[in-house]
Structure 1
Amino acid sequence: GCDASILLNGNGTEENERNHPANFGLRDEAIQAIEDIRAIIRVQCPRVVSCADILVIAAREAVRQFGGPDFDVPLGRKDNTKFDIDSPDNLPVPFERTDGVFTSDQDLASNPKTKEIVNRFASNQNEFFNKFANAFVKVSQLDVLTGNQGEIRKSCFAPNNKKKSNVASVVEEVVGIATNM
């Protein structure tokens, strides 16, 4: 989600968020598109833009492309180095018809306390888009990793390898010695 953990591949022995039933609608092409965008951006500004930022910008652009509002999203997120296989269990469950309508949506339309708001949004697209954009930004900021939390991944599909190999350490040391000669 907001920390791009959904992009992480499992290591072969563990599950990943993409394989959770709540995420079966995600297309491999969409996941790959995020990695392709990251690869292009990395050439221009290496280790600056996170997969999490690319993901939230892509989601915002999808909303805009389908006629939704255009709005700014805060940037500066870090990518998580692990995923939580249980977090999708906290999402609302769609109707048995699986047409994407949440029970809560129908409840809002029929509840006397919220029916007026639903009708107002249905008749005033600008007001709905404004509230939608504000809610999108708020949700995209939930549990955001910043500072020393997380990292900016070299690949959206795997955490960075924190350990240097012996060869890399030797090369680094030799380069340092040669530079000081």
Structure 2
Amino acid sequence: MDDARTEIADLVNNWALFRDQEKWDALSGTFHEGGTISLSWFDGPHEGFIAASRQLAARGGALLKHHIGVPRIRISGDRALSEVNVTIMVRAKTPAGEVDTTSYARFIDRIEKRDGTWRIVKRVAVYEKDRADPVDRASLPDGFFDGLEKFPAELKFLAASLDKAGIPLSPATVLDKSPELAALHAEGDAWLAGN
């Protein structure tokens, strides 16, 4: 069981490392065939996420970093649930100057062992709170905050940054302490139990 926990923790950590270093083939290898991912700007098959991430990286203009905590892992046979804190940091050029957006979230993963290998079958990001900080000036201009109220408080700065880049907030976005999070946990527990 300890070996499985180590392999799963390594998998969770490698996902972030491969994504941030744009190692697309290795990132694809963290998912099983048919694996899905749901986060602020994408909801669907992992292959689509990787293709869209490649396009965003090719456009440039933003630096991205995921800091992963130590995952809580529960294992039942060849299935595992992992929940891990993640800090997502994005530096982007905006009309207000360079801005650092920091989102505090968790990744909830369903992970399976198939053919002797643990990989992700479903990843969902749960958003808790975020903030925006100026990089090249003392404060953000007043206009920077216009329209923030139309986005959920848990990720208003991230959502506004995405919106300004022409990327809509995914309707599948899960917020902390929401009914959707309760349903996600209940579905995961049932899945881990084999139901």
Q: Same fold (TM over 0.5)?
A: no
Structure ranking higher in helix proportion: 1
TM-score (norm 1): 0.30
Greater relative contact order, per chain length (Cα 8 Å cut-off, separation 6+): 1
Mark the structure with the bigger radius of gyration: 1
TM-score (norm 2): 0.28
Structure ranking higher in strand proportion: 2
